[in-house]
Structure formats: C-alpha cells, structure tokens
A and B are shown apart, each in its own frame.
Chain A
Amino acid sequence: MSVTVTVEQVTKSFGAYPALRGVSLAVQPGELVALLGPSGSGKTTLLRLIAGLETIEHGRVLFNDTDSRRLSLRERRIGFVFQHYALFKHMSVAKNVAFGLRARPRAERPSRPEIAARVAELLELVQLPGLADRFPSQLSGGQRQRVALARALAIEPRVLLLDEPFGALDAQVRKDLRHWLRALHDRLGHATLFVTHDQEEALELADRVAILNDGRIEQVGTPDEVYDMPASAFVCEFLGVTNRLPVEVADGAALFNGTAVLGLPDRSLSGPAALYIRPQHLGIVAPDGAGLSGMVAALRRNGPARHAEIAVAGLGKTLDVDLSNQALPAMGERVGLRVARGAVFPAPRDAAATAGTWPAEKA
C-alpha cells in the first residue's frame, strides 16, 4: 500500500530567507532514504513540505501520480514522527496510539474493540506491551519515540516521515533503535524518509542518502556512492574528509608546490583546485620519494585507529594520516606522503581566502 514520493523542483522561502532552492528527489516503496545536512540546510523544511505542514512555493510533490496539493492531510496518509515526538501529554499511551483511528469520520471508524485490538497489536510491534495505561511523562525517551512511531503507524500510512528520529536519545539507545527501526522498515515496506544531521546514522541506516546544503541537494546516492565518490567539496567536508590540500591542476595531475601528488583521469580540469584526501588514503613512504614530504608532528589514538599528524612543508598545516595498515613512524621523523586516492574540486571563487585552510571539524 506504499506509494512513490516524488519531489520536483520544489522551492520554499521564509520571508526573504530561501529554505529550499529547487529540490528534486524520489523515494520508492520499501526504500529508506536519509536527508542529511547541517542545521539550516532545509532538510526539515523538505520533510514538512512533503507532509503538507508547509505550503509549496514552486514545484510539486507527487504521491504516485497525484499532486499533493489535491490531497488533504488526512488523505495523504503520512505517518509523521516529530523530532520531540509531540505525544499528547494528557492522554495515555493507548489513547495516543488510538488517536488517528478515533479521528476518522464515523463511516470509516473502526469499532471500539477493533481499535483496542489494533492498539494492542501496535504496542506489541513497537515492543511496548503493558505500557498502554502510562502517560508520556512516565516514559523514557526511547519509549516515547516508539510510542510516537506506533501512533504514526496506526493510520496505516503509505509513507513514513521521521524528523531527527534519534536526535533526543543518548548514544546507546540510539544505536539499538537504529537497528530496530531498520528491521521494522524492512518488515513494513513503506517509503520512508528521515532527517538527520548525523552522517554515521545516515550511512548506516539508509538505502540512499540525500545530502542537503543551503537549500539544495548536493548529492543523492547509496552510502557507498556518497562516501567513496563525493560529488562536491561540501559533501567531502560534510562526510568528514579532513585533509584538504590546495593544488594546481594541469595536464591530468594535481600539483602541490609544483610537484605532482596525484594523477587525475579527468583531463578537462585545470587551474587552482582543492584536493580532498581521507586519512586512510595517505601512505607514509620514505622522504623525497613522493611529491609531499613533512615531519611527524603528533601521534594520537582516535578510537580503534592510530593517527599521525604530518606537518607538510609549504602547507602551514598538518595532514591527518590513518596508521591502521602501516608502520608507526617516530615523532619528529621526516617522512614522505603518498596519496592513494583523493577528490579534486575547482577552488571556490574566494580561493585566496580559504586556500590552505582546513575544514573546521577534524575527526
């Protein structure tokens, strides 16, 4: 009973502030798609537009072939889970879950025993049997989240929209609920769209990830695609590529301080550019054997992996190298760096101002 949700060239602004600047996206039945982006990127606005809680300025949203503007909120049959769950404080868990069924017009409303049975079934589904008579204030964050989901599922939605579903939970509960939600989604087969600012969450949970920046979708793809083949400098930086090297592109190679550091298959590019390299794609080699050389400035542990910070000559900054698969250098040792992989994007217009600077957040 799920539908395909198609968003076509949708724009939306709040006063003079453009929240969405022409966004297109399609979500198939059974697909779990993450809207990933920093705060203010428009991801929640997009979700609310699809739900019908905001009006569309230009463009359109389709449910299968039906324009959303021809459907009332009730007819859209969207299960929406709000960021802070928005449970009805003065109603018990059972009443909360039953709300959507009791709100149906008399002709479509199930009988009382049917509603009670459905509520019990849903509480079973979200693994909260026995909590029917509790009030939201008596529940933990994770329990509230599951009640909100049960309430949304009660109307037999055709699409499931979740706004920061794990945002208000602590780390362990988050992880558990993530797996649980994925399993539930696979079982129910909705078209599901969820908003998150946590890249790890998006990459782990979603079939496809849409990365939003400043009201535009920068890239849509499977987690592997966006991770391994970022389409823009923003995606690189947002997905935690910490090493950014200002380079000059010429003759199919990226040159740093006049020496080639990486060959490029795409020969159409030329001029100043930024080379993004993941820490695990930098290899430590003997000095003078490669285009990059520097000195080991720091060694540290980052979770399971050891990292080295290499102060590169002529850069004025250090590069972050993942040492998981290579020998540990000594502090202060002079080393060369070999770039195994990297992504090159033309430098932005204000390159002079940003050249040589690093993304603000370092892993």
Chain B
Amino acid sequence: MRDLRLSLRASSGRSDPARLLFFALCFGFLALFLLLPLLVTFVEAFSRGVGVYLDSLADPDARSAIRLTLLVAAIAVPLNVVIGIAAAWLVARFEFRGRQLLVSLIDLPFSVSPVIAGLVYILLFGAQGYFGPWLKAHDIEIVFALPGIVLATLFVTFPFVARELIPHMQALGGSEEEAALMLGASGWRTFLHVSLPNVKWSLLYGVLLCNARAMGEFGAVSVVSGRIRGVTATLPLQVEILYNEYNTAAAFAVASLLAMLALLTLVLKSILEWRFADSIAAARGH
C-alpha cells in the first residue's frame, strides 16, 4: 500500500487521463455507496431534533439493545481471541493430518450465509431440534436467548482473529520460539514472552475487526434470537424493528450508534496500520 502511494506521488507531476479516470471512478463509487449512506444515517437520526434523538436512545428497548450488544461482544470476542490464537498456532506451527481441513474450516463462516448459520443452531438447539427435548428437560435455554445469540456471533466472527494471525505467524517462522525453548523457557513462558509479543499488533487488528462484526451481525442473530423486543434484540435487530414500525428517526438514531462504532473502528484500524505498518505488513501482504 505504501509502495502504491509512493508511485502515485512520483507520477503526480504529469497529468495522466487514465489515472484521473480511475480516481474519479474510485472516489465517485466510494462517495455514492459509502459516504452518502453514512451521511444519510446521521441526517435522518437528527431529522426531528436532538431531543428526539436522545429520547430514542434513552428508550428502555434501545438501552436493552445496547446492553445486550455489549454483553454479546464482551463474551464472543474474548472467546474468539482464545480459540483464534489456538487455531492460528496450530496451523502456523505444526504439520499434521487435517491441517488443510482446519484452514478451510476457519474460513467456512465467510462462505456460509449467516442466516443458514442461525438456522443450523435452531435445528440443533430449537424446541423441535436434535437436542431440543434434552435441553428442555434440563431447563437450558439456548435458542431465543443469550446463549444462542452468543453462539451465532461466535460462528460468524470466528475467522477474524485466526486469519489475521496465521499469515503473520507463518511469516515470522518458529525459530524465535525454538530459541526460547533452547534457553530453557517453558512452553507457556515462550508463548507469553515471545510468541504473543511478536504478533500483538495483528492480534489487536483481528480483535478490532472481530468486535466490529460481533456488534454489527444481523443475519445469524436475527434467526436465533427470535427478536424479542427489549429482551433478545441486539442493536442491528432493534434498528430493523423500529424501521418496520415506521419509526424512522428512532431507527436511524440507533443505527447512528453502529455507524459511530464503524467510524471508531476505522480510525483505530488506520492508527494501527499507520503506526505499526511494519509489524502488520507480514499479515497484510496477501
């Protein structure tokens, strides 16, 4: 990316019609499909005044949605960090039967429609599902409750951490870890003092993306949550509920929270990329 920027700057001396055309196309597209909707979100959110905007956010259902979204992210993201690190470690450091399969499995959530993922959980844990009767007998609620939402979110956001880490770990190779082991460090100490610090920036990057997706996930959560107002509606679901009730201003007010989350993520991501370009380069190269 840096190289591209350099070469653009280098050739900026002469006017190049093809280059101008590409710029126009690129920025035109971005403005039309990304910037404009963002702008509309905030315009609509404040269309009936700041008072209505704040009231919409103070509404009990909206506050419940905010709480639930934060809670789901607070459970799903750390879990995915742990599992993602473990999976990346396995794939990057060991040769074993089924390694390629594991890599494909890590990518699976990207290729499966989130709605399907949600439906699978209904099929497994729903009242009519495979484990439904057993769960009912033991009074365990998964579907239409927090555990279901967390499961669906875990599924959808699983690839983010592992996929950031794998290429970085592979590029680093294992010799620093071997060096630590030869110096007498335990496996745990090696992991904490050598492996983790080496990939911390790509890990943070993965966490950031994972978190953004966890908070913004709609499809899978929509299916497993049952969309019970004030109980199992996360922020994106709340937006849809309000919108379907023609409560446009309130819908956009809640949506503006998600938009701000997106902007915050973007800013943090840019800071990471700018500040730690070299450490991330290995992971970003592909």
Residues on A close to B: CB < 8 A? 51, 53, 73-74, 77-80, 82, 84, 86-90, 99-100, 103-104, 151-152, 154-155
Q: Which of B85-93, B182-190, B205-213, B245-253 contacts A (4 or more CB under 8 A)?
A: B182-190
What 5 pairs between A and B have smallest CB-CB spacing?
A100-B183, A103-B185, A74-B184, A86-B175, A86-B179
Shortest CB-to-CB span from B160 to chain A, Å, is 24
Contacting residues, chain B, for A87 (C-beta < 8 A): 176, 179
Contact B183 A99 (CB under 8 A): yes
B197 at the interface (CB under 8 A from A): yes
Please give 13 more A-B residue pairs, beta carbons under 8 A apart, in addition to A74-B184, A151-B183: A73-B182, A79-B182, A87-B176, A88-B180, A89-B176, A89-B198, A99-B180, A99-B185, A103-B184, A103-B185, A152-B182, A152-B183, A154-B183
Shortest CB-to-CB span from A226 to chain B, Å, is 30
Q: Which residues between 156 and 209 of chain B lie within 8 Å of chain A, taking CB atoms?
A: 175-176, 178-186, 189, 193-194, 197-198
Contacting residues, chain B, for A99 (C-beta < 8 A): 180, 183, 185, 193
Contact A53 B178 (CB under 8 A): yes
Contacting residues, chain B, for A100 (C-beta < 8 A): 183-185
Contacting residues, chain B, for A84 (C-beta < 8 A): 175
A53 to B177, CA, bound (A): 11
Q: Which residues between 220 and 242 of chain B lie within 8 Å of chain A, taking CB atoms?
A: none
Shortest CB-to-CB span from B75 to chain A, Å, is 30
Contact B182 A78 (CB under 8 A): yes
Contact B189 A53 (CB under 8 A): no
Contact B186 A103 (CB under 8 A): yes
Contact B184 A82 (CB under 8 A): no
Q: Is the interface of A mostly helix, strand, loop or mixed?
A: loop
Known: A90-B197, A103-B189. A51 touches B182 (CB 8 A): yes
A309 to B150, CA, bound (A): 80
Looking at the complex, which one of A82, A103, A152, A154 makes contact with B175 (CB distance below 8 Å)?
A82
19 A–B contact pairs at CB < 8 A?
A73-B181, A73-B184, A78-B182, A80-B178, A82-B178, A84-B175, A86-B179, A87-B176, A88-B179, A88-B193, A88-B194, A89-B198, A90-B197, A90-B198, A100-B185, A103-B189, A104-B184, A151-B179, A151-B183
Shortest CB-to-CB span from B74 to chain A, Å, is 29
Contacting residues, chain A, for B194 (C-beta < 8 A): 88
**Chain B residue with minimal CB distance to A97?**
B183
Of A51, A88, A104, chain B has the most CB atoms within 10 Å of the CB of A88
Contacting residues, chain A, for B181 (C-beta < 8 A): 53, 73
A84 to B175, CA, bound (A): 9
Shortest CB-to-CB span from B193 to chain A, Å, is 8
Contact B180 A103 (CB under 8 A): yes
Contacting residues, chain B, for A78 (C-beta < 8 A): 182
Contacting residues, chain A, for B186 (C-beta < 8 A): 103
Contact B184 A86 (CB under 8 A): no
**Chain B residue with minimal CB distance to A80?**
B182
Contacting residues, chain B, for A74 (C-beta < 8 A): 184
**Chain B residue with minimal CB distance to A78?**
B182
**Chain B residue with minimal CB distance to A79?**
B182
Contact B178 A155 (CB under 8 A): no
A82 to B176, CA, bound (A): 9
Contact B183 A82 (CB under 8 A): no
Shortest CB-to-CB span from A12 to chain B, Å, is 15
Of B176, B194, B198, chain A has the most CB atoms within 10 Å of the CB of B176
A151 to B194, CA, bound (A): 15
A154 to B179, CA, bound (A): 13
Looking at the complex, which one of A77, A80, A90, A104 makes contact with B179 (CB distance below 8 Å)?
A80
Contacting residues, chain A, for B179 (C-beta < 8 A): 80, 82, 86-88, 151
**Chain B residue with minimal CB distance to A73?**
B181
A99 to B198, CA, bound (A): 15
A79 to B178, CA, bound (A): 12
